[in-house]
Amino acid sequence: MKTVAKLADGRELIYYTAGGTPVRAPADRRPPTSPAMRSEVRRDVVTGDHVIIAAHRQDRTYQPPPGECPLCPSRDGRLSEIPADDYEVVVLENRFPSLVGETGRCEVVCFTSDHHLSFADLPADRVRLVLEAWIDRTAELSALPQVRQVYCFENRGAEIGVTLQHPHGQIYALPFIAPRTAKMIEQAARHRRETGRNLFEDLLAAQRADPERVVLAAEHWTAFVPHAARWPYEVHLYPNRRVPDLTALNEAERAEFPGLYLELLRRFDRLFLEPGRAVRAAPTPYVAAWHQAPRGEGELALHLELFTVRRAADRLKHLAGTESGMEAFVNDVAPEAAARRLREVAS
């Protein structure tokens, strides 16, 4: 069930609930404000890449204490970004967006009202509700005339640069095709010309035929470490049936996803366990990125890329000069070894 409301400054707020009854959507009692927001998309004439300029984000909220978290419910007289005193899943327009108006849209997805949980702590039915929210937002944002691509993602951990610790993700409705996606489109087109087949279908078939780097193989989804992984521990999760985006997933694929994804996240949290300890004091930092086909691109396949910047229990993967300067990655962990480790830490 979906309930749409408005915040005091006019931003949209959407409550998602698993039941069939709409939630009570109390009014935002904060005084209306009109923060100065302006974003600009510039194109690098040398590389062709697009760069978003959003100077107002310098003033965004940074690592507030739990009692001042803007994504917690409004309780005990304290007013937050979410007027309700509890919620299941909430999507709201970002107060400090990278993209504004005709340049696109940025949204925040709150996975739970509990400030102290992480995605891996959620029950399967809550993950299913988050998935349905991603699907709904992909459908609505894709329909906006200025949007070329919808990108749903989660950053977790201070090492990744997260500014709010509350369990949440984001959605960017981009007015251009992201550089990594553009490279995929180019490679898929080349593969089609050379073989007459789809690149992603061939990739997945090869992974399943030679399971050395397969981490999880289920009826509707497959998770594997890519042959040329850029990050120490990097897993790509594909539906076994090629679909362009989240909206095209069928019921069986949607139903199987929560359990599989939770298992992946929990394995990431067990990667660097110290002997004799069941849980890490600091959960593994990661980025979880949904790659969806831009409008009109028929060759791309929906998939999720999950990776961590941690390469050992006490070591991070920092981008060196070859990587940040030339985009030529060097990985200190062999993909085959990473896959073995991720299989070893199964539940």
Catalytic residues, which ones? 168
Provide the CB-side half-sphere exposure for 67 (13 A, CA).
2
Tell which residue, 269, 193, 247, 258, has the closest CA to residue 220. Answer: 258
Length of the chain, in residues: 347
Query: Using an 8 Å Cβ cutoff, are 92 and 107 in contact?
Result: yes
The beta-carbon contacts of 3-8 under 8 Å, at least 24 apart in sequence, are 5/83, 7/81, 7/83, 7/92, 7/93, 8/32, 8/33
- The residues, ordered by sequence, that sit 6+ positions from 191 with a Cβ below 8 Å of its Cβ are 197, 198, 199, 202
Query: Using an 8 Å Cβ cutoff, are 302 and 245 in contact?
Result: yes
Report the 10 Å Cβ neighbour count for 256: 17
- The residues, ordered by sequence, that sit 6+ positions from 252 with a Cβ below 8 Å of its Cβ are 219, 220
Rg (CA), the chain: 20
Interstrand relation of 303-308 and 286-291 (parallel, antiparallel or unpaired): antiparallel
| Cα distance between residue 55 and residue 209, in whole Å | 48
Query: Directed axis angle between helix 179-195 and helix 199-209, to 10°?
Result: 80
